Structure 1
Amino acid sequence: MRVERAQNREAKSRPTAPLMTDKSMRISLSDRKVAIPLFVLSVTQIIGWGTVGLPSIVGRQMAEDLRIDISYIFAANSVLYVVMGLWAPLLAKVFARFGAKRVMIAGTILSALGFLLLAVCRGPLLYFSGWVTLGTAGSATLSTAAYIMLNELAGSNAKRAIGGLMLITGLASSIFWPIASVLAKAVGWQATCVVYAGMMVFICLPLYVFGLPAATAPINQNLHQVADTTASAPARKGTFYLIAAAITLNAFVTFGYSAIFFELLKAVGLPATQAVALGSALGVIQVGARAVDFLGGARWDGISTGIFAGIVLPLSMVLLMLNRGSHTAVAIFVVLYGLGSGALAVARATIPLVFYDKVDYVSAASRIALPLNVISAAAPPLFIALLTRLGSTVLLEVTTLCSGTALILLLVLTRRRPALDSTAPVA
């Protein structure tokens, strides 16, 4: 009986499972210490992602003014993602030592400098220097940095906060494309860059300084765990590589399709007007998928979200391949693909929360960002090459293979999901 009582006391003292209850998730989001930073990050992420989308609106005008080919203008996105990816693992120790707030403040100042470089550029040298600067700043302020901030505040409860952030920031392009268009017509694209620099200094910077708390704990006490992950947790290496591979394979598919979606719809037989209409609906469907995950996210974790998306995504592509020329099949493809890709956007950020505590999450998220951003940069030109040279069927076959492989990896990860202790070493 004494042994049994001791076992019962031990069981009660164990940490809860990573799947949180509705009550705990509601407490997390209603807590002032999370709600205010979530508002701050929502505003700053919308501004951050919305402003770097400038070439999508004024790319031709940029090319004419700088007297360079338009392909070089749009290469800016690739430069942005590659630089963000290269800096991400190097910043892991900086995030751990100083906390996300200080890093994001420094990154915001650097963002303003990047836009000022674009504002004064007269040729490709300063143009690409501006985008390298913005990429460096983005690694300190965009997406991964915001997730690290929420993880500092909420720990394992951060999943729903991240879902809420992604739900709101999914509207960045919808908000900033009209703003960029109006500003560029009124004052020109280079003056628009000055306005964007002003937004960084007068909106984002004060919000970070006064709206975000400092690091809640001296995370640098455990810095050696971040600096040398192979020494601190060698048993986690296999799981980390599974996570990184699954996330990167799915990102390859979704980032690639996001760049050539209109062209794909036309290639499978849709008239241009219908392709535009269905393509425009895609964003709404993706935001809807994020909303569903946000509202019900307390009932499942990032792995479950990823598996749902991993099933729906290849299913949508197989359906399209088997029903070429059918407008109904194309419409169903758009709906299924939108649901899958929208859910995957959340899963990319929340899968590591299943396996890592606050300190290890910083390292894992930063290391995953390198292949993720490089793939984000490489996917669009590869996809358009496959589509134009080999046809839509080959493209769909390749992406189905990638999505299917990612699904298998996620299923393997379900067997490694921590059962009781969310901070226990992962095999």
Structure 2
Amino acid sequence: RSDPPFVYTMFGLLFFWATCMVFGLWSRLSSFMTLIMVWQLYGYDPIYFSGGDTVVRVYAYLAIFVDWGQAYSIDSWRRRRKAILGGAKQLPAPKRIAVWPQRFFMLQLACIYCATGMLKSGNTWADGSALYYALNLDHFYRVPMHLAAAWAHKLYITRISAWVVHWWEILFPLVFVGEALRGWDKDVKEGSWQGPVPRWTLYSIVMAVSILAVWTAPLWAKPLPLVLLALLIAADRLWLKPADKSGKGAVSWTVRLLSWGALVGFFLAAAYMADLGVLYYFTPPKKAPAWVQDKELIQTLASASVLAVPLLITTIILTMRAWTPRAYRIVRDYLLGKRLWLTMGFLMHLGIDVSMNVGIFVQIMVAVYPIWLAGSDIDAMWRFVLWRPAKPGEATRPPLPEKGLRRFGRKLLAP
């Protein structure tokens, strides 16, 4: 049907359930109904099959697994209000909720960025002219800026921006290295480190194998890995003991060996992809040295680099962790930290939104960023916002110089 009353009703239901999900009203039901209405809309009109709309569909599915209603929601407020009106002496303690749906959101964003960067394999991205062309497309730019774009390209501004964005997307999964190192250090400090949780590692392997199994299967079989995931989650919740008590025994070590085998297989596959990448996309310059002209040698070097570079980086990080803890923390929290990678992403999307008209793609991508923040990150942000700088001479801040240019310079540079 396409008559206006029916279409308006469908849109109204979508906006109603999406609003309920955003504000945390009937969170479980509203998340599921939002997914149904989103799928209904995209199935009704395929004109919405753009990149941003695909992201919406994927995240709408992942959202049904998140227990949104336990905090910052109307459902949470209603539970507390009910307890107070019921004469409770203290507010009910916050409920612990599963964190794995949040990890799926994070992994999905990393997959989007990395795949997008890897697919930018044309010459315009290699020479940095891609952004120049985008700024000159009349269906992209907000206002004509041909002269400004030409000068920015001539001065290497757009070229450097294109190269930075390209490699930022490709290397975005490095942020998980920082997350893993922080989690490792936290568990070691608390004395709770037992290695990767075998059960979850096994689930990851099963999911990866099931996805590969249906890669070329008929369309009806494509969703079967999702059904398998739901069964694994149900079995985990209903019958298995807590995951933090399952790290010992022969079965656990067998799963760990399988996980290490899967990791080795991943790098071998990456080395093979690097070999194919050089074979199909690398054209040696005509005036290049003889060893660059040898394509088979470059293929071998590319494959070896995929294996050697991660091993070298791991060795450097572990050495820094043991011998130079301060430098290690800088690398972990800044170079591999969320603040760098997400800030760069936010600035990139802001630049896209200001200079080009690409619909709501920017808003859709940035909307996922807050889910990367942990409770400690939010606390740190509030402390920074509410923090009052010490006055000169207060606490450990040195006093202002008595006179002269040093006093003027100190006042000019510091609050």
Query: Whose helix proportion is higher, 1 or 2?
Result: 1
Same fold (TM over 0.5): no
TM-score tier after normalising by the smaller chain length? under 0.3
Tell me the TM-score normalised to structure 2 length. Answer: 0.25
Larger Rg: 2
Tell me the TM-score normalised to structure 1 length. Answer: 0.25
Which structure ranks higher in relative contact order (CA pairs < 8 Å, sequence separation ≥ 6)?
1
